[in-house]
Structure 1
Amino acid sequence: MSKAIEILEEKLVPVAAWIAENKYVNGIRRAFIMMMPLLMIGSLFLMITAFPLPAYQRGMASLLGENWKDIFDIPVSATFNLIALFVAFLVAQQLAKQFELDSIAVGLLSLASFLILTPLGNTSEFGQVITFAWLGSKGMFVAMVIGVVTVKIFHFFVKRDILVKMPDGVPPEVIKSFEALIPGTVILATALLLRVGMEHTSYGTIHDFVYKMLALPLRALGTSYIGSILTVFAISILWSVGINSGSMVNGFVRPFWLENQAENIAALQAGQPLPHVITEQFFDMIWMGGAGVTLSLLLAIVIFAKSKHIKSVGAIGIVPGIFNINEPVLFGLPIILNPIMLIPFNIVPIVMVTTQYIAMNIGLVSKPLGVAFPWPTPAVISGFITVGDLSGALIQIVNLIIGAMIYLPFLRIIDKASKKEEDEMERLEAEENK
Structure 2
Amino acid sequence: MNPTMWQRRWLARASLGSVLVAGVVLGVFAGTRTIGLLAVGLVGLVLVAAGLWWSLAKEGVLRVLAVVLALGAPVWVLIAYTRAHLAWVAALAFALWLLAVGAGRAALVRDEGPAAMAEHPAPRVRRPVLIMNPRSGGGKVRRFELVERAQGLGAEVILLQWRDNGDGDVADMARKAAAGGADLLGVAGGDGTQAQVAEVAAALDLPFLVIPAGTRNHFALDLGLDRNDPSKALDALRDGVELHVDLGSAGGLPFVNNVSFGAYAEVVASPAYRDDKTRTALRLLPDMLAGHQGPRLSAHAGDTDFAEPQALLVSNNPYGTGDIAGLGRRARMDGGELGCVGVKVTSAAHAAGLLRGRRAAGVVRTTAAHVVVDADQDHVPVGVDGETVSLPVPVRCEVRPLALRVLVPRNRPGVRRARPLLDWRVIGRLALGRSHRF
TM bucket by the smaller chain?
under 0.3
**TM-score under structure 1 length normalisation:** 0.22
**TM-score under structure 2 length normalisation:** 0.21
